[in-house]
Amino acid sequence: MPINNRIAAMQPEMEVWRRDLHTHPELRFQEHRTAAQVAKLLAGWGIEVHTGIATTGVVGVLRGNGASGRSIGLRADMDALPMTEATGLPYASTTPGVMHACGHDGHTTMLLGAAKYLAETRNFDGTVHFIFQPAEEGGAGAKVMMDEGLFTRFPCDSVYGMHNDPSLPIGEADIRDDVMMAAADGFTVIVRGKGGHAARPHGGIDPIVVGAQIVGALQTIVARRVDPLESAVISTTQFHAGTAGNVIPDEAMLNGTVRTLNPAVRDLVEATMRRVVEATAAAHDAVAELTYQRGYPPTVNHAENARLAARICAGILGEGKVRRDMPPVMGAEDFSYMLLEKPGAYIKLGQAAGTKGRAPVHTVQYDFNDDLLPIGASFFAGIVEQELKRG
Ligand code: NI
């Protein structure tokens, strides 16, 4: 199928929903208005609605024709970012300091479009769960919904999610059979030395010099310990110490982020960081302590589901428009938690067209390209009609 005709005809309506969400962005776990809009629309199409999962998460349940007992989960994220929009668009955010800068307004709308279409047509055999999650941006809303029994209450044989991609032309998709995005971990290092007069360094232990060596030494982990054919990033993004130009402080604090694609590399980096931090400090009679917080796991597609998703996208966009070999990116995504528990796939849909849809996500100029709405909705609908095909 190319873009589903009925869904294409829904574009003006979808634009209205999307722009309304864009004007009223909400931060993680505060998506009350968004969730209410979603619930109202779903209920209006006769879809069973469950709210209040992970505070603001919504699940719509739609049963098709037939009695196959099969089920599928389609997921969209609803949260915005703490940024001040600078697009100047007529429907720009009216909430100070909050902005839909990652297109989650578009993702929510695409899933709503698919829900409306599927509720009208019901040309599938099984149950669809429309999962609208809070807090993708750093709040692990997907995991919180799962911890609150998402897949027990709403069993899913498979799950699918998507993200817009301003770096890819509209009409193209990026679908790998394996890892799509990185694991994102955080770290903090406290270096404890001994403060003193800056003119008498030998009387103290300078935590700034030790901290600076740690920053450099951490880079050697990526350069010398990780297989060059694997990927890892260690970025030290904060270094705080001291209060005066002539005083050596007692302590320094560093923190940052670690990104990896492969679980074995993740383990190696964490363990090596700990040794490097502690031993570098010990070499100078200082003490340093690493706190390593594991965040989102890598987003890893299941090959069979990725192949199905690629077939559906090729049907919509045309053969040759589905990129199967793009490198993964070192960003992260909490749909990864769902893919750890269920077979499924996460895809990226291009949205750049001329000057439209080109601003990168998480920038103040970003806007979701509404021309992607029927493509995304057709994808979700196509996955359902294919995977829950009537016998
Ligand atoms: Ni996003």
Residuewise pLDDT in 10s, the chain (391 residues): 578 899 999 999 999 999 999 999 999 999 999 999 999 999 999 999 999 999 999 999 999 988 889 999 999 999 999 999 999 999 999 999 999 999 999 999 999 999 999 999 999 999 999 999 999 999 999 999 999 999 999 999 999 999 999 999 999 999 999 999 999 999 999 999 999 999 999 999 999 999 999 999 999 999 999 999 999 999 999 999 999 999 999 999 999 999 999 999 999 999 999 999 999 999 999 999 999 999 999 999 999 999 999 999 999 999 999 999 999 999 999 999 999 999 999 999 999 999 899 999 999 999 999 999 999 999 999 999 999 998 7
By the 8 A CB rule, do 40 and 20 touch?
A: no
Measured between alpha carbons, how far is residue 120 from residues 13, 112, 116, 164, 386 in Å?
15, 12, 6, 26, 17
Compute, in angstroms, the gap from residue 228 CA to the centroid of ligand 1.
Answer: 29
CATH topology of domain 5-181+298-387: Aminopeptidase (3.40.630)
CA of 296 to the centre of ligand 1 (A): 13
Tokens 């309506």 map to which residue? 13
Q: Which spans in the chain are helix H?
A: 5-9, 11-23, 32-44, 104-121, 141-147, 150-153, 207-220, 263-282, 303-317, 335-341, 373-387
Q: Where are the domains of the chain?
A: 5-181+298-387, 183-296
**What is the whole-number distance in angstroms between the Cα of residue 281 and the centre of ligand 1?**
38
Q: How far is the CA of 367 from the centre of ligand 1 (A)?
A: 12
- Ligand 1 centroid from CA 254, angstroms: 27
Distance 25 CA to ligand 1 centre (A): 13
CATH architecture of the domain formed by 183-296: 2-Layer Sandwich (3.30)
CA of 152 from ligand 1 middle (Å) equals: 26
Report pTM.
0.93
